[in-house]
Structure 1
């Protein structure tokens, strides 16, 4: 069906942009990827360190390199480096060391000719791999990779997760259960948002000088009498009372925007742009896209962009530069800073999308295990405070997208039920769903009504109904609000989709109307009005047939409207897109139908002052 083709094209646009990134990643990572891993462990040798660098990344794989250095005063006769890789990351070949694995745990031993290291000497070995390539838990000759472990002495255990009390506008009291150590605990380091803010000898501490109405995350770690530091405790989230200072409290309607992790590359769009455009004060939620679905699990989409990319002070939301050794960097840390500045914003991690929806079919064979894997990743202690829930973008349950799914009409409901059970009632659980309301179309293929009882809302993808995948036309608006005489396909409009979903039993308040911050166009067109013939797709910045609104408003200004959507005929090109005026009309529709709000794909398509989002914000009130 043509709706499969239209929706496939917009997702392919996302996929193509992602495929264009590996070369740039390879240029950035050799410096930014250098990091020493310092997980304490029992030591057999001291006076040596091991550091890791990702030498290059080509998207489907990467090259990693370890460097072992003798920082002591005596010669080391041999070395063994151990580390863990996340699920989905594997070593495929290696050189200058013998590398073996047991599950996700890897061990590298020197060869006969490079085991001996005199004081000050170093040696490197490398490997090729697939996956994210971010190692954890490094050990060198049984001890810490930073060379700080003491022979024969265990580091202290993790203290208990702190509890928070006496929370005011500017202060909080923290208490935790003691750590244990064979030689005795000397003191505790208190971590606020991953950075050490205090060292105390007791199991409680009060933080002060905080900002009212702001989210913070606290953890503690112990240090023993030998100077060894143990692992950090679990973290506790704290929000100070009060607030104001320019924050925009959530209104009656959801105003959600997608932020793409690959946008930080060629598009040069970062979390800080949400602030500088004035958008942060006008949204209620952000969907961070995308995490992958593979091997029956939720997995990282782009490790470098997600949590490793270092930001300079001028690029950062709070004006503070990242350091090489801070626990969390990249978009996740910038989103953390955004939420600290605008506490009303909630962030969901979106999984799937056009390119990565093929994994859902296998994942839902065991919905409970799939949900647990997603919860474990979203609630990873490194970034648990960043996310307020999960969004599932399955394209499409029991229907065809990039691949065809045959899971059955109940599979989507089974997945959403398992997600709600795993995430609980306090987290957000949402989904992006089809807008194909044709008879026997995608809305009819899955039990969206039954699943809606487990969802906070659905993002209904009411765009990409028509486009230049039909190279010769007829020209038609890609996001019509209503049907109109001559529409190429019945059931391919926003009102038809939302009406059908409500008729099936999905509550109106759980439906969000979708807006595309881009247009779709043809070339070789002589007719101004819709319905003309064409010779192919119009040229676009990233892909033929598609262009950001911020470009089109100047390149090809709108000179007509049809079905509540703007269109433009300039030269031999014909484009359709939403303008501030048509967005305002669609928001009036959303309010008249009692919808839960609106969402848009995606931030970087808007103008630098966010005029489309402003229209959503003002239209919904």
Structure 2
């Protein structure tokens, strides 16, 4: 085996905080056994990250006597060596200024580590790192942080003691570490939604093949090929009429309206990623709107208008196509006298309606010269009740259930309650309407006394819970539809609901034609009572 060493930079008039070396080794040569540093290697490329105690180098100083050393599998001279982006020998251009925030990964075998560097002049309060691993590789066993993984994507969040990073400081010596199921290099790494290496995001590519699929005297329908994403997913496309923004859409087509007949327009399209970074513009497309004098005959009237589906807030309609000597451009769907939708096919979903309300719909066909047919025969449709054809299940979730019974919002999902509810009333939420945060955090824990009004953060809740009572014989009263238990003479008597009483009450509710039930309140139920109610209302 052969040794190597690296001496950290001799700093100038100011201290240097945060540095790393990158260099190439010949094919087949590996670096290992680092001292005073960690090493990660991907093929021939090696990254050396200093130990926390030499991460900062005083003005005019070096890393001695703690300079990093390592072992090479064969004698070799590193090539293309850079330190913080500058040539290791000091030649060439000066290094670029450090990015305000970076997260540097290093690995030794299957042990991974991220060092967060705050290179700005202000303290960093809170950070998280999101990255991807190769398919089949998992991350676990986090130290100084918490991991969660969904498929290939991993989210790393700090522990409470390293979530704040001082100005020009780092997370060392408490940087998060974790174990990988196989040696791997994270990809698509982002810290606080900027690239971990501090580089600027790459914008999307320009949309291609912009074309007009339909034009009338006052509209032009455009389509284009999806742009190639850059660093981030594409979230929208902006369509420009000359230099004016004409439309913003999430898909790859749109109709530009309000145009003048027999007029030439030039359109371009730009893609935008989810942070708003724009692509270059597509190639320009010039389209001339139709001349209305070329056709004055309207399409035939749409026929057979009918409803194919509905819910509490929408109605789906279908009809038989119209005909026109120049071609049908679109159909305008009306709810009463209001234009509700414009579509190119022979069906439409009208949304934004009110529950349990009757609407009258008609459809008109419009041709390529904006001649409009007479309205179709009307059809009346009533929207569904807000709970559909079943029963309302209204859950009442109280803030004090969190600290009184350790019953959190997530328990609504893990107990199966969320899937069975139609509505949820979150009561006494203690929400600051300006900052959208809790007004007061939980300042007191639960106590052994379920009647203690001082439990929690002062919202005033009383923990009302039925503990496990020994020797309590359960009985069911058919007349009162009530469940109780009694421990005997001189003992305790408890009244409560169980699956039997909930089932009886649900049957009575259905027999009276009522609309549903309200659960007062959710905390403490492991899913048994909500399950009984749901079964009773089916």
Q: TM-score of the superposition, structure 1-length normalised?
A: 0.25
Higher Cα radius of gyration: 2
Flag the structure with higher strand content: 2
Higher relative contact order, chain-length normalized (CA < 8 Å, sep 6+): 1
